Amino acid sequence: MVEVKWSKNKDTVQIPRFAHDGDAGFDLAAAEDAIIYPFQKRLVATGLKVELPQGYELQIRPRSGVALKTGLFIANSPGTIDSTYRGEVGLIVYHGPLLQYDGLWSFLVAFLRALRTPLVIKKGDRIAQGVISALPALTFRETAEEEMTTTTRGSGAYGSTGTPGAPPQTVSS
């Protein structure tokens, strides 16, 4: 078992815990009230400091239900907390208002309404999740390109895994 140490900046803050046996992630809650306007990015305090064992990282990720229902996202997802960091864990959140497209006029009305509707976060709201991952010990070595092994993919990048010569596919609902 790997031990992770947590320190609270405020007595009202909860130390993270797993909701269920076998969960990969644990909830992280806001330690302060916050108002986030549409298209705004903000740092929200957790009131927690963490000491991770060397060779581990803490990833900050969105909670799927929060993202689906509210449009609150983790702006740098996944955020990384290194094992050497001892400051307060902060959550960089972004409010992307949820809009449906049912025609241009209804979209514009919904957009204008969304601009006036901030997202309110209350102290104690669970707004992100943390996942702790082990990191392999790595070394980096400079190598000439011709010494690198070849693969069937090669240098193919974005969209290169499609079938050559096939017509473009359309996305349907």
User: Structure tokens of 32?
Assistant: 């302060």
Are 58 and 89 in contact by the 8 Å Cβ rule? The answer is yes
Read off the pLDDT of residues 37-88 as tens digits, 9 standing for 90 and up: 988 999 999 999 999 999 999 999 999 888 888 889 999 989 999 999 999 9
Give the pLDDT score at 162. 64
pLDDT class of 163 with cuts at 50, 70, 90: low
Query: Longest C-alpha distance within the chain, in Å?
Result: 63
Please, what are the domains in the chain? 5-33+43-94+122-136 (2.70.40.10)
Q: Which residue has the tokens 């803490």?
A: 58
What are the tens digits of pLDDT across the range 123-157? 999 999 999 999 999 999 999 999 999 888 887 77
89 contact partners, CB below 8 Å, separation of at least 6 = 28, 46, 48, 49, 50, 58, 60, 81
Q: How confident is the model at residue 171 (pLDDT cuts 50, 70, 90)?
A: low
CA pair distance 25, 17, nearest whole angstrom: 9
What token pair was written down for 103? 């025609």
* Rounded distance between C-alpha atoms, residue 127 and residue 14, angstroms: 13
- DSSP sequence for 29-59: E-SS-EEE-TT-EEEEEEEEEEEPPTTEEEE
pLDDT > 70? residue 168? no
Name which of 17-31, 37-51, 87-101, 109-123 the model is least confident about: 109-123
pLDDT value for 15: 92
Q: Is residue 164 predicted with pLDDT exceeding 80?
A: no
- pLDDT score for 60: 97
The per-residue pLDDT for 117 is: 79
pTM of whole model > 0.75? Answer: yes
CA distance 25 to 130: 5
